[in-house]
Structure 1
Amino acid sequence: MPRSLELVVTAVATRLIAVDAATATGVSQQVLAELVTYFGVDSSFLRHHDHTIHATRLIAEWPPRPAGAQPDPPALIHFADADPVYALAENLQEPVVLRPETGGHAGTTVACVPLPSGEVTTGMLGFVMAGDRQWSSEELHALAAIATLFAQVQARVYAEDRLRFLAEHDDLTGLHNRRALMAHLDARLQPDQPGPVSALFFDLDRLKAINDYLGHSAGDRFIQVLAERLAQAAGPSMIARLGGDEFLVVPASPTDVDAAEELAERLQHALSKKVPIDGEMVTRTVSIGVAVGVPGRDSTSDLLRHADQAVLTAKNSGGNQVILYSDAISLESEFRNDIELHLQNVIETGALFLRYLPEVDMRTGKVLATEALVRWQHPTRGLLAPDSFIGVAESINLAGELGRWVMRTACGEFARWRANGVGLDAVLRVNVSPVQLVADGFAESVATIVAEFGLPPGSVCLEITESIVVQDIEVTRVTLAKLHDAGVQVAIDDFGTGYSVLSLLKSLPVDALKIDKSFVRDLGADPGDLAIVRAIIALAEAFDLQLVAEGVETGTAAATLLRHGCHRAQGFLLSRPIPSDQMEALLRRGTIPVDFAEP
């Protein structure tokens, strides 16, 4: 290769060696300009091939087109529709010169030089000259060396672009990731930007069931399909996968609350359609939280926190819902976070204690049983009932630990009363959360505690809600059978609140039904409640089950229950929850005064 050509190749190498993705196009154009001058041709171009779509794309050219002018040939040319020059370029391996009589453009000579990457042609370097131009083998060798340098730049830019893509996108779905989402929202929420800006937080309900049943690869494929559907249905939007089964959609244009809610409902419907996975037709419901931010007022963290709080409310309400953020949700979330923070070490600090609610025969006033109720003395919020913290305990896997503490503490105090000769005929009732009941080894744990304190068969009764029985009947059936074999009674609490177990009662080892207080509170005033209570009384008689009415607070309710055959009850009319020593004294006394004549 002549010395002058070597110097040209060296000069090009010097210019291209330091370029990156940001400077590659500009420097490439400058190099093309110098090559056009050196080789005395009319123009030059650099194109990169996209073999996934079988097309070639213009990267740089010299001289450049006037501002606003369309490139000719077009910026993107599909090989299937290309003229001979570009059709040849798809898999070109060696430089070739097309003259006017052999395929050049309208009386021009075109030198086509491939950009090599192994055996793949990744682009083309072209030089165009009107009329006929002779290219020497030395010139073509120099152009081949220059094309190799351009190919190295192309590979470097591709690698940078790929790293940038991976830094801003989720590798499973190709959607944006949290980092890209945060940057997008930061820009959208600047004071000078149009608003409002809405955020739709998507959380799939119970994806774990798919992973457990079909495997994690099936779960990943399911997420990929949902991501594709979300991208197709959302319209112009920033869509990000936040991890696992969580997605966030930010519409590109300003969107108010009503429009955001409408979009959420439409996307929820699109995601509810079944997906074929490994021969199975799979579907999951989705919970969506919607929040709206105002540029200049709300920050990115504010908007995401509000959307997260809304979707958490949707999940805690049973899932498959669209929930709009509100101030009430914020207060609830703040309360929940406070509970979760302080609940972690609540047993070690001794902040838990028990109260006991007597169960009475309303005909005689005899104390028949007592229900252990856990209470928490919160450091800042005061005395809390279990409804305030058991749900949180379940969500952070503390329900089992709390349940064991309640069981051991109640059985220990009950055993102490019995050792003092008190409550020998009474029954201790202890509430059980759904998480406890379906946990491995639960029945064995209960049996061990009962045996540890020497409590006789039939003296301890576990109360489970009607919903537990329906949700996982097979596990429940096995667990209840084990409890029955261990001499532990079972009562269905809150009976009649909407989950039918009528068909299961005859096959489950259940000892008692407890009528939910919502049907008892207004007895004597609401004929509908009376009809439900009478039906439950008849059901208990038919299956020979004990029957207890909860929430007896008025003489009218008590008298109505007695008249229709329900004798056992608990509620504030009879007694409020009392400490252990007072419960022991009440059991020693044996009765409370009763006189429930109807007014």
Structure 2
Amino acid sequence: MGDKVPRRTLDSLVTQVASELMGVDATTMVAATEDVLARLIDHFDVDYAYVRHTDRELRATILMAEWPRRAPIPNPDPMHTVSFDRPHFLFGEIEHATEPILTGPMPMCAAMREAFGWDREISHLTSAAVPLVSRGEPTGLLGFVKAGERDWSTREINVLKAIAALFAQLQARVVAEEQLRYIALHDDLTGLANRRALLEHMEDRLRPGSPGPVATFFLDLDRLKALNDFLGHTAGDNFIRTLSGRLREHLDPHDMIARLGGDEFVIVPAKPMDAVAAELEAVRIQQLIGRRVVVGGESVSRRASVGVAVGMPGETTVADLLRGADHALLSAKSGGGNGVAVFTDAMRAQFELQDDVELNLRGAVADGSMLLHYQPEVDLRTGRIVALEALVRWMHPTRGLLPPAAFVTVAEATNLAGELGRWVIRSACAQFAEWRRRGLAGNVVMRINVSPVQLVSLDFVERIEDILRLFGIDGSSVCLEITEHVVVQDLARTQVTLRGLKRMGVQIAIDDFGTGYSSLSHLKALPVDAVKIDRGFVQRLGASTDDLAIVKSIIGLAGSFGLGVVGEGVETPVAARTLVGLGCYRAQGFLIARPMPADEVEAHLSVGRIPLELDLPRVGRGQTAR
């Protein structure tokens, strides 16, 4: 056969194709392939050219690019995916072929004419199919169709084989790139999207002009560690995989489902959702997760907490939307788990405050922004001041005076509780010593709250001893208050610390007593001097018979152990009268006095009492205060 195209032109053609395909990747492959096919059509004087990929799992040949593009493309397109089980007229012999297959001339039927979109009368066509071969295996096809007859020379076929080899290399490179990208964007345990893929998807969803609102669900499985501990990590992994499959099966195929690791998942629905619809969908997902799964021969289930946040494209950033869902998740988990919470403006304000506190708290301890207020504790029968509780405040540069509830929890979470606690003890003792030097607070006890971090510190007792010695304060004039849950956390270490304090004469009180942590055995085991009834019970005295019964039992319990008892949160005369009637004579609360700065306390200390108009029964007036 004679060459249809001159040898030099064929050689330059291969070089040109190689140059065009050199820098192609997955995103540009189709466009670059179409350009090459157009060039090949011109060179070889054919009517149609294509590149196809062989899918071994489907056992089918799939159209990757064609030129010219057929228009209109039939629906369904008979040329797109052609199974080898039902071979198309052009692909009958190519599944395992590694050498070119030339066909024709063959009769042109109506089905062929429709497939190619040709409306002209053509009686015959000729085709050439050149396999794309990689490592000896056919991976695709470079093909040409000519209306009528076309003879292919040996030289032309060799050139087409060389070009097919270039396409095979391109396909192999793109497949490798896609595999690497898949690995980079997917969780290896579940095959779900990973954090990187999630962020890319959310960036796209939140672009200006995209449909919204965009909902985001942050999921956390409750107590997955217990499942791992009981059945082993393999069973735990199987549970995660099964759960992931269930999510894929029951959610919209276009929803983004990402696993961030461990027991955390994020779902971004494809459909726009407002907060109401998103909360309903979160409950559905929560119920879906809660269905039982058989792993390790056991039927198990885990509940889930779900945080929901909703943002608008062009207005909300990815970071803000994820942070909102994460904050909502924390709120959902705060009630013990298995909750659903939607991020709100109130939550935003709360967490903005928390972020602000975390950022500035360390400096506040050092720069003098912290200060102490003092709340008097009195004998309800006489109004005599018997103790002062030191309460820390923070004069924030922009938020004003912050109560301890706004920053103490953050201090404990950021390892600042010890530093803050040492400042409180030292400052309270310095003020106490100054009052006593001036003849005030002679018969008053200074009460100071102690954090869990301080109580289990190995040098805590030594530090207290140094401070008392520095300011010349007798240990019996100081009472350190600890909460019930501190006692339970580390009973053995607490015993050692409290016994060391008692050797110095320091008094010990259990604060917020009655909230459910302590037991009789703890009271027996610890050298405690007093209990302070939790304000929640005291505030409802006169309105709740249940709280009355609890307060009565606490006072009786304290009496049986020889402990003092103090009522916190006294805000009404009826609460004060009820306490006195039950035999609890020491109390503090807003009815008596709010926490106040040191200079305001001095006015009360100089008098020694705070007048109270409680109309107490006579039986209580002559009794001794506990």
1:571 alignment counterpart? 589
State the AA in 2 paired with 1:567.
Y
- The unaligned stretches of length 5 or more in structure 1 are none
Are residues 1:476 and 2:481 paired? no
Q: Percent identity between the aligned chains?
A: 44
Q: Does residue 1:450 correspond to 2:440, yes or no?
A: no
Gaps of 5+ in 2: 113-123, 618-626
What's the CA shift string for 1:365-421, capped at 9, x where partnerless?
Answer: 665543221111222333222112223434544334323322343355556777889
Task: Give yes or no for contact 1:492–1:510 (8 Å, CA) kept in 2.
Answer: no
Matched, 1:114 2:116: no
Residue in 2 that maps onto 1:598: 616
Q: Post-superposition shift, 1:149?
A: 1.0
| Cα distance change of structure 1 residues 346 and 221 upon mapping to structure 2, 3 Å threshold | farther
User: Residues 299 and 34 of structure 1: is their aligned pair in 2 closer, same or farther, counting only changes over 3 Å?
Assistant: closer
Tell me which residue corresponds to 1:95: 99
**1:478 to partner: Cα distance:** 3.1
Partner of 1:125: 142
Q: Which amino acid aligns with 1:181?
A: M
Task: Specify the alignment match of 2:533 in structure 1.
Answer: 515
- Deviation digits for residues 481-517 of structure 1 (CA, Å, limit 9, x no counterpart): 23233235654322334x3544764675272432122
Q: Is contact 1:99–1:132 with CA below 8 Å preserved after alignment?
A: no
Judged with a 3 Å threshold, the aligned counterparts in structure 2 of structure 1 residues 396 and 50 are, in CA distance, closer, same or farther, namely: farther
Q: Deviations over 1:519-557 (max 9, x none)?
A: 223433543332221122233334554322102234432
How far apart, in 2, do the equivalents of 1:396 and 1:208 lie? 25
Post-superposition shift, 1:567?
A: 2.9
1:12 Cα deviation from its structure 2 partner = 2.9
Select which of 43, 46, 66 maps to 2:51: 46
Q: Partner amino acid for 2:15?
A: T
Cα deviation per residue 1:194-252 (whole Å; 9 max; x = unaligned)?
A: 55x13224153788968997999999998777665554444255526596676554433
RMSD, matched Cα: 4.9
The reply to whether residue 147 of structure 1 matches residue 154 of structure 2 is: no
Q: Is the 8 A contact 1:198 1:257 kept in 2?
A: no
- Separation in 2 of the partners of 1:584 and 1:91? 99
Aligned length: 580
- Residues 22-101 of structure 1 correspond to what in structure 2 (within 5 A)? 22-35=27-40, 43-51=48-56, 55-62=60-67, 64-70=69-75, 73-77=78-82, 94-97=98-101
Aligned in 2, Cα 1:526/1:399: closer, same or farther, shift over 3 Å?
same
User: Corresponding residue for 2:546?
Assistant: 528
Check whether the contact 2:378–2:587 (CA below 8 A) recurs between aligned residues.
yes
Q: Does 1:556 align with 2:561?
A: no
Q: What is the TM-score of this pair, normalised by structure 2?
A: 0.74
Distance 1:501 1:365 in 2: 31
State the TM-score, normalizing by the size of structure 1. 0.77
For residues 435 and 135 of structure 2, the distance between their equivalents in structure 1, rounded to whole angstroms, comes to: 86
- Per the alignment, residue 120 of structure 2 pairs with none
Q: Within 5 Å, which residues of 2 pair with 1:393-542? A: 393-413=411-431, 428-433=446-451, 436=453, 442-453=456-467, 454=469, 461-467=479-485, 473=488, 475-487=489-501, 490-497=508-515, 499-502=516-519, 505=522, 509=526, 511=528, 512-542=530-560
Residues 284 and 425 of structure 1: is their aligned pair in 2 closer, same or farther, counting only changes over 3 Å?
farther
Distance 1:385 1:482 in 2: 31
**Correspondence for 1:182 among 196, 200, 203:** 203
Closer/same/farther in 2, CA of residues 22 and 292 from structure 1, 3 Å limit: closer
Specify the alignment match of 1:348 in structure 2.
366
1:12 aligns with one of 10, 13, 17: 17
Local SS of the residue matching 1:49: strand
Instruction: Give 1:90-489 correspondences, 5 Å limit.
Output: 94-97=98-101, 112-118=129-135, 121-127=138-144, 138-158=155-175, 173-175=192-194, 176-187=197-208, 190=209, 195=212, 197-202=213-218, 204=220, 229-235=246-252, 237-239=254-256, 241=258, 248-272=266-290, 283=302, 285-291=304-310, 293=312, 307=325, 310-311=328-329, 313-314=331-332, 320-362=338-380, 367-413=385-431, 428-433=446-451, 436=453, 442-453=456-467, 454=469, 461-467=479-485, 473=488, 475-487=489-501
In structure 2, do the counterparts of structure 1 residues 53 and 536 end up closer, same or farther at CA, with 3 Å as the change threshold?
Answer: farther
Of 172-181 and 211-220, deviating more is 211-220
Distance 1:362-1:530 versus aligned 2 partners, 3 A rule: same
Structure 2: distance between partners of 1:508 and 1:88: 88
Structure 1 residues 298 and 180, CA gap change in structure 2 (3 angstroms):
closer
* Residues 160-169 or 229-238, more deviating: 160-169
Asked if the contact 1:422–1:588 (Cα under 8 Å) also holds between the matched residues in 2, the reply is yes
Task: Quote the offset at 1:146 in angstroms.
Answer: 1.0
Query: Any idea what SS the aligned residue of 1:357 has?
Result: strand
Distance 1:309-1:174 versus aligned 2 partners, 3 A rule: closer
Q: For residues 50 and 390 of structure 1, do their structure 2 counterparts lie closer, same or farther at Cα, with a shift above 3 Å needed?
A: farther
- One-letter identity of the residue aligned with 1:286: S
Q: Deviations over 1:60-79 (max 9, x none)?
A: 23554331315775423455
CA gap of 1:291–1:7, structure 2 versus 1, over 3 A, is closer
Tell me: CA distance 1:84–1:495, structure 2 relative to 1, closer, same or farther (3 Å): farther
- Deviation by residue 1:468-490 (Cα, 9 ceiling, x = unmatched): 56xxx4x4223322323323565
Tell whether the 8 Å contact from 2:374 to 2:390 is kept in structure 1 after alignment.
Answer: yes
Secondary structure of the corresponding residue to residue 492 of structure 2: helix
AA in 1 matched with 2:167: F
SS in 1 for 2:207: helix
Contact 2:278 / 2:308 at 8 angstroms: preserved in 1? no
Amino acid across the alignment from 2:532: K
Shift in CA distance, 318/386, structure 1 to aligned 2, threshold 3 Å? farther
Q: Distance in 2 between matches of 1:545 and 1:409?
A: 28
CA distance in 1, matches of 2:521, 2:128: 84
Deviates more, 1:415-424 or 1:570-579: 415-424
Match of 1:487, SS?
A: helix
- Paired with 2:91 and 2:432, the residues of 1 have a C-alpha distance of 90
Aligned partners of 1:462 and 1:89: how far apart in 2? 87
Superposed displacement of residue 47, structure 1: 1.4
- Asked if structure 1 preserves the Cα contact closer than 8 Å seen for 2:206 and 2:316, the reply is no
Q: Distance in 2 between matches of 1:580 and 1:278?
A: 64
